[in-house]
Structures are given as C-alpha cells and as structure tokens.
Amino acid sequence: MVYLVKRFLQMEAASGIILFVSALAALLCANSSWSEIYHSFLSIPIRVQVSSLDVHKPLLLWINDGLMAIFFLLVGMEIKREMLDGALSTVRQASLPLIAAVGGMVVPAILFVVVIGDHSQFMSGWAIPMATDIAFALGVLALLSGRLPFSLKIFLLALAIIDDLGAVLVIALFYTAKLHTLPLLIAAGLSLLLFILNRCRVMRLTPYLLVGTLLWFAVLKSGIHATIAGVVLGLAIPHIRNMTTTPLLQLEHQLHPWSSYFILPLFAFANAGLPLSGLSWQDLGSGLPLAITLGLFLGKPFGVLLACWLAIKSRLAVLPDGVSWFHLGGLSVLCGIGFTMSMFIGGLAFGTSSDAFAASRLGILSGSFFAAVFGYFLLSRSSHVHHSQESEHVSS
C-alpha cells in the first residue's frame, strides 16, 4: 500500500488529481448533510498573539492569507530560478511565453468587462478569468505524457510562471484596500533587509525565513494582501546560476510537496464548496458566471493564440522546437483552467462570504471544467496528428 502511494505521488498528474478530488469533496460536503460541519470547520477561530501583535482570523482566512503565502513564496522562487537559468533566462526563450501570457491576461479581462456590461457591482471581478492554474494544467498535460513534445511542457511552465507574476502585480495594484502607513513602512524596511542579506551573500535560510515571517505580519497589517510577502521573500532567497545546490533550490525542494499535496488541495477544499441548491443552467448563462466562463474558456485561449500569432508573424518570437499550431491551440485552451488563482482573486474581489463570490465560483468551476475537457481533447488529437506526420516522414 505504501509503495502504491509513493508511485502515485511520483506521477506528474498526481497534484492535479488531488486538487480535483479536493474540489469535488468540497462540493459534496457543501451539498450534503455535512454542509453545517463543513462551514463550521472553515469558521474555526484561530488567534496568534505576540505582545501587542495580534492576528485573529477564522480558519478560512488563515488558509487564504497564511498558507497561500507559502504557495506565493514558491511562485517567487520559481520566477527567480527561471529568469536566472531556466525557461526565461534568454530573450529567445522568454519572448513567446511572455507575449502569450500578456495576451492571455488582457483578452479575457476585456471579454469579462464586455459581457458584464451594465452590472457595475461585479466589475471588480475583471481579473478572475486572467489566471491559469498550473497544477491542474500540468496534470491534464501529464495524462498525455510521451505523446507530446517536451518543449510544449516547458512553454506551459514559462507561460504559467509569467501568468502568476501578472496575477501578483494585479493583486498588489488593484486588490489592495486601505493602506496603513506604519506597517507599510515596516514592511518596506524588512523587504530592504531581505535584499541586503542577499547582496551580502548570506547563504543560510534561517535569517531569510525569520525576516520573511515578520514581513508577512507587517504586510498583513498594512492593507496589502499578505501573500505578496511570500513573493518578496522568494525573490530574495539566494540562487546562483548553474549551481546544483543553492538555498533557493533547497527550500523549493522542501516546500514543493507541501504546496502540491497539502496547501493547494486544502485551499481548493476551503473555497470550492459551492452550495448548488437553487442554482440552474439559467444562472450559468447570465451575469457574473457567464462572464467568467466565457473569459476562461474563450477569452484565455483566444488571447494566448492571438498573441502567439502576432509575435511569430512579426518575428519577435518563434514556435518552440517540435510544437505545431495544433499543439499550441490545445495548450491555449488548457490555459483556461483558472481554478486556484481565479478562486483566490474572486475572494479578494468580492469577499469569501458574499453571494457574488458564490456566483463567481460557479463561473470558475464551469469555465475550468470546459477548458480541461476540450483542452485534453484537442491535445490528444494533436498528438495523433504529430505521430502520423512523424510516421509519414520516416516512411518517406
């Protein structure tokens, strides 16, 4: 049994499968006799107090503000690593995923605004369909492992990392409430201290983690969303180009299983519990759910493909080796899986206890589901085309 569990966790698709199961479990709990227990669990009050520093939140907000900061710490480290010696380290490597990510953020946001129209009370959700859930997208891609060019996975990773960076900037710039000056100044000072430690070549992780914890508290009290502290800390962790052992790689290796198999599934379980009683297909076909569904399922792939086409036609970028436009079409649809990050932004836009957030979750679940199914279908077809073309080439 232990052997089977280890084999499952070693699968590339494992994190995506666990994420899906967690979301399904949340839906089942929220729509069963367990619903009261489910909501009571998320409302458990947790208080941390050190002298005058006091943080008192329900479990749901500790998950969204606290544990998700660790996920964003990994995002920050991944961005830094890929920019130094990975898929974003050269202009040639970074240009196409960068342009594709921008298109994949701008077009769904515009489509959302157009569909929402006069419903100005929902306009703050414009960024919800911009995000790509890397765990789900890679999970679906892994189901076709061996049948698609490896460069396609690298392209998806690079695009998703830039997409995450765009989401971080959007959260910092547009989803910040009232700012509090003193905590903000303290956060700025602690951020400076982190980068001084980096410049002084301090290679032990302990000082960074201690300062990073204080930074999280300061950012939380400042009015900026606390997860931004995770990104700042991730960018400050030391990493040296082409070295196989660095503090960044060490911490990334230690945290990655916790993020993939605990933090993100717990976030999904805490936020995907949408009560379906009273909902109908008419609800999906109007207002906020429709805007998000169309943004993810149509706006995201159209934006990615259009940006790629413009970049390649203008010779700003080239297609990755072995990747066809058929591949790119399937992958662009897969980018419409916005589950985790879309839920996160939806909570910031509307508040996790509002009716608007419930409506946004309906749109996120439907849009992500359609993107996963059609993305898988198109990529499976593209893999058949790819193999048939290779066979014809060999026979000729």
CA angle centred on 158, ends 156 and 161, rounded to 5°: 105
* 198's tokens: 């980096």
- pLDDT for 8 equals 46
State whether residue 88 is helix, strand or coil.
coil
Quote the pLDDT of residue 355: 82
Which pLDDT score is estimated for 396?
Answer: 46
Question: Do the beta carbons of residue 167 and residue 104 sit within 8 Å?
Answer: no
Q: What pTM did the predictor assign?
A: 0.78
Q: Identify the pLDDT of residue 300.
A: 96
Alpha-carbon gap, residue 257 to 180, rounded angstroms? 35
In 223-352, alpha helices (H): 227-236, 247-258, 264-271, 281-284, 287-294, 300-313, 325-334, 339-350
Q: Which residues of the chain have pLDDT under 70?
A: 1-13, 51-52, 145-146, 177, 278-285, 383-396
Question: For residue 281, what pLDDT is reported?
Answer: 60
Question: What DSSP character marks residue 179?
Answer: -
Residues contacting 272, CB < 8 A, separation 6+: 22, 23, 26, 27, 339, 343, 361, 365
C-beta separation of 269 from 26 below 8 A = yes
